[in-house]
Amino acid sequence: EAQVTQNPRYLITVTGKKLTVTCSQNMNHEYMSWYRQDPGLGLRQIYYSMNVEATDKGDVPEGYKVSRKEKRNFPLILESPSPNQTSLYFCASSLEGSFLMGQFFGPGTRLTVL
Amino acid sequence: GENVEQHPSTLSVQEGDSAVIKCTYSDSASNYFPWYKQELGKGPQLIIDIRSNVGEKKDQRIAVTLNKTAKHFSLHITETQPEDSAVYFCAASPRYSGYALNFGKGTSLLVTP
């Protein structure tokens, strides 16, 4: 089954404790992206990746890091999480480095930073 | 950067009626406009999209129209059903990057039986 998986689905952590949210897709997609969703603000793009070893900042990259060492994986790293990073996070992927074919979204990761 | 405004933020219709959600964008060179549906507890799912060289696109009960001159596009759902209840997001692709997508803030649609 074609899908984007994220782990963990739920995470409660404390300020300053480094964490990684994993994202994996099995569709051989070149393009992958991370979004955060906050009430009243919709979806905002954090980082995206056109292909392996090619990443770029979205609208709200501060406080986040990403890497793309393999085509299927695109982890989101929070080196020193803060309470304002409490949010619902979505990973997405699409074919051919373009979302013209439609982005596939993962199920989301709900992060709470205390 | 690209600014996408979406209205209304909430919409309630009776089953069988039509629903219309409107979005405006700021960058006249934007060329791709998708609509996503997000059900409770799930990630957004693409339901229809339109490119700037097309004025209207239809898929069964769902249609999208684009007015490039006025820089707005709309989602039309006809014969609404309770399962259409969800949050709908519009988005636009800005000129400065073909690979960034700016979303509206969403419309919560409720279809009552």
Residues of B in Cβ contact (< 8 Å) with A44: 103
Inter-chain contacts counted by CB atoms under 8 A, chains A and B: 60
| Cβ <8 Å between A58 and B100 | yes
* Minimal C-alpha gap between B82 and chain A (Å): 22
Residues of A in Cβ contact (< 8 Å) with B34: 99, 102-103
Exposed, middle or buried, A28 (CB in 10 Å: 0-12/13-18/19+)? exposed
Tell whether A102 lies on the interface with B, counting CB pairs under 8 A: yes
CA distance B79 to A19: 46
CA distance B100 to B103: 10
Residues of A in Cβ contact (< 8 Å) with B1: 59
Residues of A in Cβ contact (< 8 Å) with B98: 98
Tell whether A61 lies on the interface with B, counting CB pairs under 8 A: no
Position B112 pLDDT exceeds 80: yes
- Give residue-wise pLDDT tens across range B97-106: 456 788 999 9
pLDDT value at position B54?
Answer: 80
- Give residue-wise pLDDT tens across range A29-81: 888 999 999 988 889 999 999 889 999 998 899 999 999 999 999 999 999 99
More confidently predicted of A21 and A100: A21
CA distance B34 to B75: 10
Position B96 pLDDT exceeds 50: no
Rounded average pLDDT over A4-29: 96
Nearest-by-Cβ selection for B99 from A90, A97, A106: A97
What is the percent of chain B with per-residue pLDDT over 90, rounded to a whole number? Answer: 72
